[in-house]
Amino acid sequence: MKIQAAKVVITCPGRNFVTLKIETDQGVYGIGDATMNGRELAVASYLEDHVIPCLIGMDPRRIEDIWQYLYRGAYWRRGPVTMRAIAAVDMALWDIKAKMAGMPLYQLLGGRSRDGVMVYGHANGADIEETVDAVGKYIDMGYKAIRAQTGVPGIKDAYGVGRGVLHYEPADAQLPSVSGWDTRKALNHTPKLFEKLRDTYGFDHHLLHDGHHRYTPQEAANLGKMLEPFQLFWFEDCTPAENQEAFKLVRQHTTTPLAVGEVFNTIWDCKDLIENQLIDYIRTTVVGAGGITHLRRIADLASLYQVRTGCHGATDLSPVTMGCALHFDTWVPNFGIQEYMRHSEETDEVFPHDYHFADGHLHCGETPGHGVDIDEALAAKYPYKPAYLPVARLEDGSMWNW
Ligand SMILES: O=C(O)C(=O)C[C@H](O)[C@H](O)CO
Ligand SMILES: [Mg+2]
């Protein structure tokens, strides 16, 4: 069996997605997601110009060998572009292998570990009252877990406050827009949101919050401590994680569970965090961290230290990633939770899939493969449209972490 052809499909049904399609000499094809929000064309080129020429003629059944070939063979290892390109190949090859085996991907990984995958949605609002109302809408939709983000008085475009209820697309301009930040205002305001949420809805639902890399370790420890009475499911990206040791400082001061990893690309980005139990959930994704093959390695390491998975699942991760993630989540023994920002209707039409939402959980389908396809004719109707993530500046104009 040989890889006969491969191509990159770039489409923009409301937002940009990069998809790799690998075709074999036996008529079976597989697809993988390669989307990197705000830098999509870099990954498309990496695939078209440097990966696809190497793949032609290879045996698509040799998933591990191809993974090692693309990882070691790049010489320049570990970056987000490289690992997304490897992820797209990996997802497509697992799709092919499962189709050839005539079984849904989760069966190939080791079978079902749970009936459904608990997910969380994004509730947000311009102020506390709006966010409390948005959380109520998610509860009414049957969600067991809800992330809550709110506007902060005095901060321009606080993170996570979108224009719609069901999904939030931060890549909002053809050149980076500028949002504001002020830690003191956020520290004063955020605990009030969760106090109001617990007063309103009690403790029967999981509440999550995303710090989005905005705090120093001491500030993150301070906020984590202030949030303890509200029993969060997790406080995510509390501080930038390039320095994994920084989490020791946070961990010393708060029992609020910590989650990190959506911007990680390999196991090396989180090895110390996991081995020192500095986090409770690892957020690495199928698309961001080298595909199913590498994400399994991260999950296995995490399982040794009672760290659970909590894959990132924002709208900029395509339905192909969501499909693969759900098969992974259905199998992985140390599952925690799956983020689920719903895609737009146009996106779901371009990427027909067999997963579905019910009672606060997502359920992958039984279709052989990962259960997601791409309608290339429809995809062609949505040409690429440059879109950047915002940048953040402090009140004195200093650059900060968006
Ligand atoms: O969903 C989350 O937790 C995010 O932090 C969303 C990110 O801002 C988004 O995926 C960036 O493209
Ligand atoms: Mg996040």
Atom of ligand 1 nearest to the CA of 38: 12
pLDDT at 163: 65
- What ipTM did this prediction achieve? 0.99
Q: Answer yes or no: are the C-beta atoms of 123 and 134 closer than 8 Å.
A: yes
pLDDT at 221: 98
DSSP 8-state assignment for residue 372: B
- Phi and psi at 118, nearest 5°, equal -65, 130
pLDDT at 249: 97
Atom of ligand 1 nearest to the CA of 147: 3
| Angle at CA of residue 276, ends 270 and 277, nearest 5° | 85
Tokens, residue 244: 């994994």
Q: Hunting for tokens 């003629």 — which residue is that?
A: 57
Rounded distance between C-alpha atoms, residue 11 and residue 111, angstroms: 33
Q: Hunting for tokens 């230290």 — which residue is that?
A: 305
DSSP state letters, 87-117: HHHHHHHHHHHHHHHTSBHHHHHT--S-SSE
Tokens, residue 233: 């499911």
Indicate if ligand 1 lies below 6 Å from the C-beta of 337.
no
Tokens, residue 11: 């489409």
DSSP state letters, 217-270: HHHHHHHHHHHGGG--SEEES-S--SSTTHHHHHHHH--S-EEE-TT--SGGGT
Pairing assessment for the beta strands 117-125 and 361-363 based on DSSP bridges: antiparallel
Domains of the chain plus CATH, in order, are 3-104 (3.30.390.10), 109-367 (3.20.20.120)
Q: Answer yes or no: are the C-beta atoms of 87 and 287 closer than 8 Å.
A: yes
Mutate to test the pocket of ligand 1, among 16, 43, 212 (most ligand atoms within 8 A of CB): 212
For residue 279, the CA-to-ligand 1 centroid distance in Å is 18
Low-confidence ranges of the chain (pLDDT < 70): 163-167
For residue 333, the CA-to-ligand 2 centroid distance in Å is 23
DSSP 8-state assignment for residue 341: P
pLDDT digits (tens, 9 = 90+) for 13-30: 999 999 999 999 999 999
Nearest-CA residue for ligand 1 atom 7 is 314
pLDDT at 169: 82
Q: In the chain, how long is the greatest CA-to-CA distance?
A: 61
Indicate if ligand 1 lies below 6 Å from the C-beta of 40.
no
Q: What positions carry a catalytic annotation?
A: 159, 212
Indicate if ligand 1 lies below 6 Å from the C-beta of 37.
yes
